[in-house]
């Protein structure tokens, strides 16, 4: 099965990438964007999704500074 893990900087953590993107958008005429946060997407193909949280906490994210969200393909259960 397929799983996706969305990783983003925790709220309150400085995100210079997001700020740089936010500053670049008005130059292209997109003037109504109030906040941009840049994170990363990790796609996994795996058999057993029950240990995904452990994977996220031990390797895929740094829990001190990042939040994550696990998305499973439709119909799958954890």
Partner 1 sequence: MRFGVVRFPGSCDEVDAQLAASRVGEAVLLWHAERDLGRIDVVVVPGGFSYGDYLRPGAIARFAPVMDAIAEFARAGGPVLGICNGFQVLCEAGMLPGALLPNRGLRFVCRQPGVRVESTASPFTAALAVGERLSIPVKHTTGCYWAPEHQLDRLEAENRVVLRYCPGQNPNGSMRDIAGVCNEAGNVMGLMPHPEHAVDQLTGSADGLRLFESVAQALAPVAA
User: What residues make contact with partner 1 under the rule CB under 8 A?
Assistant: 13-14, 16-17, 20, 59-60, 62, 64-65
**How many other C-beta atoms lie within 10 A of the C-beta of residue 35?**
8
**How far apart are CB 35 and partner 1 at their closest, in Å?**
17
Return the number of the residue (27 or 64) whose C-beta is nearest partner 1: 64
Residue that is written with structure tokens 């439709």 in the block = 74
Return the number of the residue (46 or 76) whose C-beta is nearest partner 1: 46
**How far apart are CB 75 and partner 1 at their closest, in Å?**
29
Q: How far apart are CA 65 and CA 15, in angstroms?
A: 11
**How far apart are CB 59 and partner 1 at their closest, in Å?**
6
How far CA 67 is from CA of 8, 25, 52, 53, in Å, comes to 5, 25, 14, 11
């Amino acid at each position: 099965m397929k799983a996706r893990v969305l990783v983003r900087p925790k709220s309150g953590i400085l995100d210079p990438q997001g700020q740089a993107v936010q500053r670049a958008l008005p130059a292209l005429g997109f003037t109504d964007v109030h906040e941009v946060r840049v994170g990363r997407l990790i796609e996994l193909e795996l058999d057993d999704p029950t240990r995904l949280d452990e994977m996220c906490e031990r390797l895929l994210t740094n829990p001190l500074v990042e939040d994550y969200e696990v998305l499973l393909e439709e119909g799958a259960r954890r």
